[in-house]
Amino acid sequence: MLGQRVMTAVVLLCLIAVLLRIPSVWPFLIFLSLTCALAAWEWNRLLFGRGTRIPVLMGVLLLVATVVQAWAWTRLGSEDQRWLLWSTLFSVGAWFVCVGTALFRGQTQVRQAALLWSLFAATTLFSTWGCLAWLFLHQGAQFILTMLAVIWIADIAAYFAGRALGRRKLAPRISPGKTIEGALAGVLGVVAWVIGTALYLPKSFGFELAQRWGLGGAAMLAVLLAVFSICGDLFESLLKRRALMKDSSNLLPGHGGVYDRIDAVVAVVPLAFLLLGNLPW
C-alpha cells in the first residue's frame, strides 16, 4: 500500500511540475479546476450518498464557475477579487466556527446537515481554487509550491512521527490512527519550514509571511496553519465515518479520492491567503 501511495504521489508531482513549466497559464488553471470539481463530486457523495445526481451537478457547477473566473482574470484583468475575497472570508470563518464545533463534538453517528455542508463545500473549494489561481498568476510557481509544502510537511511529519512515537490518540472517535505525538511533529515541521524559507528563500510563502508579520509572528501563524491542516484531515475523516465510506472515491490508487488528497489543502489555503493581507476591506 505504501509503495502504491508513493508511486501515485510521484506521478502527481511530476504532472504538476510539467504543468507549471508550460509557458501558458491555462494548463495549470484547468488542472486546478478539474481537481476542485472532482473533490466537489466526492465531497457531496459523502453528504448525499451515491444514489443522487447532486454530486455530479455540484462538480459540474464548480468546474464551470472556476473556468469562467479564470477566463475573466486572464482576459479582463485579475484586479477584481470581490468573489474570491468574500468567499475566502466566509470559508475561513466557517472552518473556525462550524468545522471546529463539529470536530469538538466528534459525533460520528448523527445525521448530517447535507445541504448546509454542501454549501460550505462549494464555497471553500471555490475559495481554494481562487486563492491558488490568483497567487499563481501574481506570485508564480515557487510561491505556490512553498505554500503547499506547509500541508505536505505537516502530513509527512505527522505520519512518520505518529508511527514511530505515537502513543496518545488525538481524536479516537474520528480518526483512531492519528496521535498527539504525530500532530506535534507536524506542527514543529511546519514551523521549521516557515522559518527556514523566511530566512533563506526570498519570494517564498514563508518569506512573505515574515515580511508582513515578522519572524516571530510568522512562526506563531505557522502553528495555526499546521492546526488547520490537521483539522482539514480530521473533518474529512468525520464525513467518511458518518457516510460509512473508507475513501471519498477510488480515483487515485493507494490514496483514495481527490478529496482525500486535498482535505488539508482546502482548510489551509484560504487561511494562508488571508494571512498575506488579502482582505475584502
Q: Where are the domains of the chain?
A: 2-275
In the chain, where does DSSP find H-type helix? 2-21, 26-48, 54-76, 82-94, 100-105, 114-139, 141-165, 180-200, 205-243, 258-262, 265-275
* Residue whose cell numbers read 475584502: 280
Determine the residue type at 4: Q
pLDDT at 5: 65
In angstroms and rounded to an integer, the radius of gyration of the C-alpha atoms of the chain is 18
How many Cβ atoms from other residues are within 10 Å of residue 65's Cβ?
A: 19
pLDDT at 211: 96
Instruction: Note down pLDDT in tens along the chain; length 281 residues.
Output: 556 666 777 888 888 888 888 889 999 999 999 999 999 999 999 999 877 899 999 999 999 999 999 998 888 766 668 889 999 999 999 999 999 999 998 888 876 678 899 999 999 999 999 999 999 999 999 999 999 999 999 999 998 998 888 889 998 999 988 999 999 999 999 999 999 999 999 989 999 999 999 999 999 999 999 999 999 999 999 999 998 888 888 888 766 789 999 999 999 999 999 999 877 65
pLDDT at 237: 93
Residues 6+ apart with CB under 8 A from 59: 37, 38, 40, 41, 44
pLDDT at 280: 65
pLDDT at 112: 66
Q: C-alpha grid cell for residue 257?
A: 479520492
Kindly report the pTM of this predicted structure: 0.93
User: What does each C-alpha distance from 160 to 7, 113, 181 come to in angstroms?
Assistant: 18, 35, 10
pLDDT at 270: 97
